[in-house]
A = this chain, B = another copy of it.
Amino acid sequence: MSLYRLAFRHKSVAQNIKKGVKNSNERLEFLGDAVLGSVVAEVLFKLYPYEDEGFLTELRSKIVSRNNLNALGRKLGFDKLIEFDTKVLNTGRQGSLLGDAFEALIGAVYLDKGYDFTRNFLVNHIIKSHIDIHTLEQTETNFKSKLIEWCQRHGKDISFDVIENQEGESNKLFTVQASVDGEIMGAGKEFSKKNAEKLAAEKACTSLGI
């Protein structure tokens, strides 16, 4: 039980148990995040046998996004279970505590029951009933359009340029640069021009903090 109780203890109310270490849910969150990532990876790998790893990576990050996990935590009533210091955390910042506690709970279940149990628990009681994968699949996280929109809003020029083009036996390798107001903000190297652009746009979004 103490393991499960730990999963719901935010660091704002944790006590030092040893120099530099608190009895908060953060270590369990680290573990649970990894186990969840692995279970979701397998689910998607098997659910979409004909999609490439770019698709799988993108869909997984939507499923395990803070947004989605927070909503899940709220749906599961975690807001009544989490211990935290209301003086430090105002209501606006409480959202991410829900997703953090969800991951910490996965970590606790894993330590208590092992991987196969945790996987079956996640698949049968969480993913099937609470996560609509096909709707998330339709939700757009298109870095290229995100970058273009941001540039339009901020009155900046954006260009995607193929700067290299290597010939292989069966595939060409494209290098694309994304430049904002003439400054290179990201580059991508891929076997299709479209994917190289996507990668360059994603890196530019990260560089610009979009």
Contacts and interface: CB of A to CB of B under 8 A. Distances in A.
Q: How many copies does the complex hold?
A: 2
Interface string A105-116: 001001000111
A29 interface: yes
B52 A21 contact: yes
A11 B13 CA distance: 50
Contact of A171 (B11, B33, B53): B11
A13 to B, nearest CB: 7
B206 A168 contact: no
A52 B37 contact: no
Interface of A: 11-13, 15, 17-18, 20-22, 26-27, 29-31, 33-35, 37-38, 40-42, 45, 50-53, 56-57, 60, 85, 87-89, 107, 110, 114-116, 119, 166-171, 173, 191, 203, 206-209
Given A12-B191, A87-B168, A207-B208, 5 more contacts: A31-B45, A45-B107, A88-B167, A115-B119, A207-B209
